[in-house]
Structure 1
């Protein structure tokens, strides 16, 4: 298998205009000698609106498919993940310089870690950034710690699932992202932490863009009935995995 970090991005028409910014942030990354990155962009649908924004770069693969939401798009993109590590990057977000190298170094140094996350900053429309209070200390995150924190804090994890860097084999073993209309990335994060230790880096590893069209800003995302159902299945899956005693 190639010594390659595969960046997986789900995109739909409204967010396609941000792809050049995401690409620029990837081009600013540096990796150790012998390593490279490959960006797989998977459109959630088959429109004519996304392809014009896809960068002309041999390191970029663009695919389209039936609509199913971002989790489905990311999971089907794994068909083109030809490296041992997968990094999540939403189409409207950006990676600060050094992010990929730090994530890679953490997992290469400790085979007992299954995944890594890092600090995230909201990127506001005026270009300013805002942090989140309560980031954990830098270092390992023990199995079950994310679920415990999430359950005690109104279903909010102490680390951001949009910063995820994960071993490809572990990601595939868990079936990719959850088949949910939202919170599919949180569901994956809790499942990963149910079976493996993770890592948190205090340095900023993501600029999380805030804009009017983002999916998490829509009223349907916070519908209380659906949210309770999503959180119930997310928690049940994580606890079932933990109960099996399987680990990496």
Structure 2
């Protein structure tokens, strides 16, 4: 026969207060995410915070501080798996990292609440909300800055288009023109391949590149019969 622990009103009130705190603070974090149409919004952040608080509170009531510490360790690792589910890679872009980090932080809010550290839980929630709101203008300012080799490790590509039968000649011309001005090539890849047009891109080793040099290279490439068009692009190195 199972022996259940005796009913304790004080402990129940503490648990209710911890869950209410986690629900409220997780709701504030989730509302900000929902407002911005993120993958993990209001309900997800509330459930993460409340779940973390419930598990930590259970560990605390069953085994004391040692039990809560054990549960917190499992909460941290468990939220890592949950956060991985919202991270998506689209080409060279990785999306969902901020959402995953927010879920992780919501779990921290719940863990504090579950341990009875309600003011600390509120403080963590304030910092999470500040990170997602107050830092946004700074992030937008940095992202709007033009990519340059001085401020960013820039990755340069020289693109050419040609007919399928001229791919070998176009590849050789890319090597010759870039080597002539001492720009090392990391790779030459085929970006698109059709029946009439093939696009090649020479990826330069990340280094300082001169825009005038690249303009001269593409202009010289376009004068060859094997090349239909030539241009260059720059992006942030991953």
In proportion to residue count, which structure has more strand?
A: 1
Could you say which structure has the greater relative contact order, defined with CA pairs below 8 angstroms and 6 or more residues apart? Answer: 1
Q: Which has the larger radius of gyration?
A: 2
In proportion to residue count, which structure has more helix?
A: 2
TM-score, normalisation: structure 1: 0.24
TM-score, normalisation: structure 2: 0.24
